[in-house]
Amino acid sequence: MTSRILLLVLGLAAWPALATSLDPTLLKGLAADDSEEKLAAIGRLTAEAGPEAAAVLSALADGRLQMAGDRFLIADGDKLRDAATGEALPAAPDGADAIIINNRVRRALQGSLAVLRVFDVDRKVRLEAAQALGEAVTTDLLPVLDRALSREKDGGVRELLVLARARASLRSPDPAVRLAAVKALGSGATLAVKAQLATVTQAGNEPDAAVREAARSSLAAVERRLLLADAVDRVFSGLSLGSILLLAALGLAITYGIMGVINMAHGELLMIGAYAGYAVQVFFAKHLPGGQDWYVVAAVPVAFAAAFLAGVIMERIVIRHLYHRPLESLLATWGLSLLLIQSARVTFGAQNVQVANPSWMSGAVSILPSAVLPWNRIVIVAFSVAVLTVTWLLLGRTRLGMFMRAVTQNRAMAGCVGVPTGRVDTLAFGLGAGIAGLGGLALSQISNVGPDMGQLYIVDSFMVVVLGGVGQLAGAVLAALGLGVASKFLEGVSGAVLAKIAVLAFVIIFIQKRPQGLFALKGRLSEG
């Protein structure tokens, strides 16, 4: 700790000097004919570690650094300025000549510039640079790290820098420095840190017993954190998978509950939603390039409307005639799904299309070191919560919802008291389809969009309906999230394929114990 405070003080002392100008003697060697001398000068400048040094080095790398007499000039477009003082020059002095570098020097320059990115004004660039430094740090970078630490205000970047510093110090000959470094590493949570600590625990690599002991306890701390991060990661990706399954299964549960028809083309309604998102993205790229970031928002009503329309057409033309023949409706809707897949293939091509995340959905939040939650998944979870809430309100609080529940409970009686059952069927089917379309839009943000995409999710969403029972939203929610999280955890243990098989086996065994999950049959199928 004291050493860090000391560093901070030193850094602050160095601050004003850095801010104004660069010591001209530092630049000397840059113009030398000898590559060795050039390299030494680059090293000195790198150790100087400030924005000015970075500017000089990047000018050198781009061939914009010129030499006139003993002055160094940086060309910025057609403007020139003095490299040491920063003073602008009206015109190029006589004999100004660009400094030429060879490949060896260029390589060294790239390394230095990468290191110096920890001084960039952009936080993201600094974060990435600090991350890169942590992976491949050497002792001679210690001064640069100290300087960067002294200027860094951002907590996330600081943490990475401290880690990088500790890893560099591990190579120090002083056991006390190494001990402090090992202790500092204990707060890390990356696989690289774990590997580094593991080498320190071995007697061959570390002569000092106290350091080895400290390394062991640090290692344990890092491993605990990694395990936690892994669990967080799995739970979260399970939740986001579950929320997509939920959007897919919600529509299925509604249509099955009301009409007793299982719609095998439900997966293709997901596909329609995803392609609607793609179409909106293409439209924005062509006509509204400025609003590109918000195409997803515009795509929400479009995806819903497209799938709603497809659902209503399907219901009116085909499914309406099959209410009393549930098994045949499986075949007819499978036929519809083949038609839709082939239409998508003809219209959009058999290849997957690219749907990009808007910028506000890319990136990630890190809640723990090394446990990051990608924004697109967070948005998807929030989105499905919103859709679920709206559906719940629609079913529970509106006239249409009341009609739907009435038809689910007793179709004949509902018809007798004046519920327009035919229209309710159509609207309910459209609603289920529209929700699936929203699910497809969500899916397009985390996976491929192609004609076959619906087929991948249809079996899973059936399992959700089977597990959750029909007619209760709560059952569908629990089943979807449970299946999502369980399959992500099983994937970690046994691989994706065995996880799917295990989930299927679980569903079959589960309904042995609780057939009412299955058999809360209402509507037309309650006859045996």
The interface with other proteins within residues 337-366 (CB under 8 A) comprises 337-339, 341-342, 346
Helix (H) or strand (E) holding 73: strand 71-76
- 327, two tokens: 């098994």
Span from 114-122, 197-205, 325-333, 478-486 in contact with other proteins (CB under 8 A): 325-333
User: Of the candidates 334, 348, 392, 489, which one interacts with other proteins according to CB under 8 A?
Assistant: 334
User: Of the candidates 1, 121, 203, 327, which one interacts with other proteins according to CB under 8 A?
Assistant: 327
Size of site (CB under 8 A) for other proteins: 43
Rounded CA gap, 464 and 481, in Å?
A: 9
Q: Does 494 bind other proteins (CB under 8 A)?
A: no
Q: Which is nearer to other proteins, 25 or 494 (CB)?
A: 494
Query: Angle 142-151/35-48 helices, nearest 10 degrees?
Result: 30
Q: Which is nearer to other proteins, 364 or 498 (CB)?
A: 498
Q: Does 316 bind other proteins (CB under 8 A)?
A: no
Planar angle of CA 367, 373, 377, nearest 5 degrees:
150
Cβ at position 459, least distance to other proteins in Å: 5
Characterize the bridge pairing of strands 364-368 and 71-76: unpaired
User: Of the candidates 164, 273, 507, 522, which one interacts with other proteins according to CB under 8 A?
Assistant: 507
CA distance to 110, 254, 307, per residue, from 302 (Å):
47, 21, 9
Cβ at position 454, least distance to other proteins in Å: 12
Q: Does 501 bind other proteins (CB under 8 A)?
A: yes
* DSSP letter string, 500-518: HHHHHHHHHHHHHH-HHHH
Rounded CA gap, 517 and 194, in Å?
A: 46
Q: Does 515 bind other proteins (CB under 8 A)?
A: yes
Q: Which residues 6+ apart lie within 8 Å of 417 measured at CB?
A: 406
Name the one residue in this structure whose structure tokens are 């995806």. Answer: 303
Q: Does 66 bind other proteins (CB under 8 A)?
A: no
Helix (H) or strand (E) holding 279: helix 266-287
Q: Does 336 bind other proteins (CB under 8 A)?
A: yes
SS percent in the chain: helix, strand, coil, step 5: 75, 5, 20
Q: Does 492 bind other proteins (CB under 8 A)?
A: no
Span from 78-86, 315-323, 393-401, 433-441 in contact with other proteins (CB under 8 A): 315-323
User: Of the candidates 40, 132, 473, 511, which one interacts with other proteins according to CB under 8 A?
Assistant: 511
- 57, two tokens: 């080095």
Which residues in this chain contact other proteins in the complex, by CB under 8 A?
262, 264, 318, 321-322, 325-332, 334-339, 341-342, 346, 455, 459, 462-463, 466, 497-498, 500-501, 504, 507-509, 511-512, 515, 518-519, 525, 527-528
